[in-house]
Amino acid sequence: MTNYTKTSVTAGARTELHDVLGLTGAEVSVNALPAGASVPFVHAHRQNEEIYGILAGAGYAVLDGEKVDLKAGDWLRVAPATKRQFFAAETGIEYICIQVKAGSLEGYTATDAII
């Protein structure tokens, strides 16, 4: 039995890793919006917070009506009930989205590691 799963993500609008990697505690997606494009809907969540990491390009998010500029290197946490929508600038934007149940972290590297 193998205790890991590896995949490779190639260029594309959206790749969800939940099924591909057999994730059991998070949903992770790799996303790319071309220049001037946007996610075509506003959404929120019942239980899950989202963490966005901007990998390349630039754009902005509208969070509960507030515009938040984003560029490569930025990280953003969004609480579950926050209404959100993402937009690409003229450069396009590539980002990772990590979705986890809010309040579920019981340990992290320093407290969960077995050495």
- Which regions of 1-115 does DSSP assign to beta strands (E)? 14-16, 27-33, 48-63, 66-71, 75-78, 84-101
**Selection from 44, 43, 42, 26 nearest residue 101 by Cα:** 26
Confidence band of 1 (pLDDT split at 50, 70, 90)? low
Confidence band of 15 (pLDDT split at 50, 70, 90)? confident
Determine the pLDDT at residue 93.
Answer: 97
Instruction: Give the burial string for 32-52 (b: 16+ CB within 10 Å, else e).
Output: bbeeeeeeeeeeebeebbbeb
Q: Which residue has the higher pLDDT, 104 or 86?
A: 86
Query: What's the pLDDT tens digit per position in 78-102?
Result: 999 999 999 999 999 999 999 999 9
Query: What's the pLDDT tens digit per position in 29-70?
Result: 999 999 999 999 999 999 999 999 999 999 999 999 999 999
Domains in the chain with CATH codes:
15-103 (2.60.120.10)
Q: Report the 10 Å Cβ neighbour count for 93.
A: 26
Determine the pLDDT at residue 19.
Answer: 85
